[in-house]
Amino acid sequence: MPGVGDLTMENSCQALCRSLITHSGLQEEVDISKSVLYTSLMGLLLVADREREIHLSLGSGQVGLWNVGNTCFLNSIVQCLSHTCSLRDYCLTKAFLHEMGSTEEPQLMKAFTQVLCDLWDSNGTNTAVNPGAFCSAFKESVPYFSGYSQQDAQEFLRFLLDRLHSEINRCPPHRNTLRTSLVPARATLRIGEEAAVMWKKYLERENSKIVDLFAGQLRSSLHCSVCSHYSTTFDVFYDLSLPIPKVLRSVAGGSVSLKDCLELFSQEEQLEKENSPLCERCGKRTESTKKLTIQKFPKVIVLHLNRFTTSRYSISKSTVSVSFPLTQLDLGPYGPVDTGPVLYNLYAVCNHSGTVNMGHYTAYCLDETGWQCYNDSRVTPTGESQLQSNQAYVLFYKLDVSSEPGK
């Protein structure tokens, strides 16, 4: 075929097709192979167009969600996830359909994706959309959330990410029998190597966009006070639940910083004999100390300010104001020794106002135009100064790619 050799030099599909059209116009006889080629190229073009269109035709995203019966906990978290751009784009392009390891219908993922489609529809005229179908799909997937009572947003987020992950896991469905097998001989591996081995084993079974974005690795070091033996375990986390230090109201207006919470989270903790795990060397429970560090930093870190304390008879809520940086939160100090700065920028906040039993959830999310407040069906612009309050409950931070720690 004349000209095809030259045409392949062209990079873009459009140019290729344009040239083909020109050629077809000039030639009276179009042979079959060329028309087949033409059709295929048109097909490719259409696919490319459709994918590009999804990226180009995003609406503002400044669309609310109806409250369909005490669902503000769900609405606020969905808005935070809807502003997690890589997750949003992954859903909108329906990339999960090509990656899933299971052949089962991803019911919840589809319902979630539909909500995102409605929220980001460039032709949409609605100021708020109905999350009812998604809400039903979620309750079907997690019966624990059935009923109409107020639920905890953090708990909802955990269940949602877990269920979405299981539906779109790239690894084929498996039985949970291999989890503890083939743990490497500890003596032969350094901490960093052991962590990497554990992480690799995790990814062999659990691998999805949810894991790509939210999963990190936590290291727990236990030190036995009797025999001085150190043991290390690694756990995968999708969020960190941070304790809020108790403050005297008279001191500094009852306010603490996120750094205080992180310090408390990662400080060495004394464990009584009865609360201690077995010491590997002593073979029994001993008084020990435990320390948590972040071994592997996720792309998106979800920090839960644990405002609710459950005692035997009741749940109480801390209304301490926690200040937090909007940019350049450095989590490096909570990583392995000698980790440089690991910087994160805030892009969404889930707030809880009111009391344990009579509460309301809202979200602050950052888009190209600034911060918006999502209060169920209402969306209003918000100043940065509004973000810091004693209602901040779950913080969503995105890793600053320029500070990503080396592997």
Nearer to Zn ion, 285 or 299 (CB): 285
Nearer to Zn ion, 155 or 287 (CB): 287
Nearer to Zn ion, 228 or 402 (CB): 228
- Please state the closest distance from residue 222 (CB atom) to Zn ion, in A: 9
CA of 153: how far to CAs of 25, 157, 166, 361, 385, in Å? 61, 6, 20, 8, 23
Residue ranges in contact with Zn ion by CB under 5 A: 224, 226-227, 229, 279, 281-282
Nearer to Zn ion, 160 or 224 (CB): 224
Nearer to Zn ion, 124 or 277 (CB): 277
Out of 13, 23, 72, 350, the active site residue is 72
Token duo for residue 17: 């097709």
- Please state the closest distance from residue 189 (CB atom) to Zn ion, in A: 21
- Please state the closest distance from residue 186 (CB atom) to Zn ion, in A: 15
CA–CA separation, 301 vs 265, rounded Å?
15
Nearer to Zn ion, 178 or 226 (CB): 226
- Please state the closest distance from residue 285 (CB atom) to Zn ion, in A: 9
55 is catalytic: no
Out of 23, 223, 229, 360, the active site residue is 360
Nearer to Zn ion, 158 or 281 (CB): 281
- Please state the closest distance from residue 272 (CB atom) to Zn ion, in A: 15
- Please state the closest distance from residue 286 (CB atom) to Zn ion, in A: 5
72 is catalytic: yes
- Please state the closest distance from residue 271 (CB atom) to Zn ion, in A: 12
3-state SS, one letter per residue, for the chain: CCCHHHHCCCCCHHHHHHHHHHHHHHCCCCCHHHHHHHHHHHHHHHHHHHHHHHHHCECCCCCEECCCCCCHHHHHHHHHHHCCHHHHHHHHCCCHHHHCCCCCCCHHHHHHHHHHHHHCECCCCCCEECCHHHHHHHHHHCHHHCCCCCCCHHHHHHHHHHHHHHHHCCCCCCCCCCCCCCCCCHHHCCHHHHHHHHHHHHHHHCCCHHHHHHCEEEEEEEEECCCCCEEEEEEEECCEEEECCCCCCCCHHHEEEHHHHHHHHHCCEEECHHHCCECCCCCCECCEEEEEEEEECCCEEEEEEECEEECCCCEEECCCEEECCCCCEECHHHCCCCCCCCEEEEEEEEEEEECCCCEEEEEEEEECCEEEEEECCEEEEECHHHHCCCCEEEEEEEECHHHCCCC
Residues with a catalytic annotation lie at: 72, 360
